[in-house]
A and B are shown apart, each in its own frame.
Chain A
Amino acid sequence: MADTKDFGALTEGVYYILLSLLTPMHGYGIMQNVKLLSNERVELGAGTLYGALSTLAERGWIELLQGDQDSRKKEYRITADGRSAVRNEMARLDELLANGKKLIIGEPE
Chain B
Amino acid sequence: MSLVQRKFFSDFEKEEEWLNEMAAKGLALSEYSWARYVFEESGKREYIYRIELLKEDPKGPEAAGYLQFMKETGAELVPTGKWLWGLLKYNNLRWVIFRRKASEGAFTIYSDIDSKIRHYKRVNSLWMSLAMMELIIGLLNISLMFVNNPTALNMINLVMGLLLIILSLFFISISRPIRQKITKLQNDKLIRE
Nearest CB of chain A from residue B36's CB, rounded to whole Å: 26
Q: Are B193 and A50 in contact (CB under 8 A)?
A: no
Interface residue A18 (Cβ < 8 Å from any Cβ of B): no
Interface residue B106 (Cβ < 8 Å from any Cβ of A): yes
Name B114's contact: one of A11, A27, A46, A73 (CB within 8 Å): A11
Interface residue A31 (Cβ < 8 Å from any Cβ of B): yes
Q: Which residues of A contact B69 (CB under 8 A)?
A: 27, 46, 50, 74
Given A12-B193, A50-B66, A28 contacting B74 (CB threshold 8 A): yes
Complex Cα gap A26–B68 (Å): 12
- When C-beta atoms are compared, the residue in chain A nearest to B100 turns out to be A46
Q: Are B66 and A27 in contact (CB under 8 A)?
A: no
Q: Are A48 and B72 in contact (CB under 8 A)?
A: no
Q: Are A46 and B115 in contact (CB under 8 A)?
A: no
Complex Cα gap A74–B112 (Å): 23
B residues 102-148 near A (Cβ < 8 Å) are: 105-106, 108-112, 114-115, 118-119
Q: Which residues of B contact A49 (CB under 8 A)?
A: 73
Q: Which residues of A contact B (CB under 8 A)?
A: 9, 11-13, 26-28, 31, 35, 42-51, 72-74
Name B111's contact: one of A27, A43, A73, A74 (CB within 8 Å): A43
- When C-beta atoms are compared, the residue in chain A nearest to B68 turns out to be A72
Q: Are B112 and A27 in contact (CB under 8 A)?
A: no
Complex Cα gap A26–B69 (Å): 9
Q: Which residues of B contact A (CB under 8 A)?
A: 52, 66, 68-70, 72-75, 105-106, 108-112, 114-115, 118-119, 193
Name A47's contact: one of B72, B106, B115, B193 (CB within 8 Å): B115
Name B115's contact: one of A12, A43, A48, A74 (CB within 8 Å): A48
Given A47-B109, A47-B110, A48-B109, A27 contacting B72 (CB threshold 8 A): yes
Residue among A44, A45, A73 with the highest chain B CB neighbour number at 10 A: A45
Q: Are B72 and A44 in contact (CB under 8 A)?
A: no
Complex Cα gap A46–B69 (Å): 8
Q: Are A45 and B111 in contact (CB under 8 A)?
A: yes
Q: Are B66 and A73 in contact (CB under 8 A)?
A: no
Given A28-B72, A28-B74, A50-B66, A11 contacting B109 (CB threshold 8 A): no
Name B193's contact: one of A11, A51, A73 (CB within 8 Å): A11
Q: Which residues of B contact A28 (CB under 8 A)?
A: 72-74
Nearest CB of chain B from residue A44's CB, rounded to whole Å: 5
- When C-beta atoms are compared, the residue in chain B nearest to A31 turns out to be B73
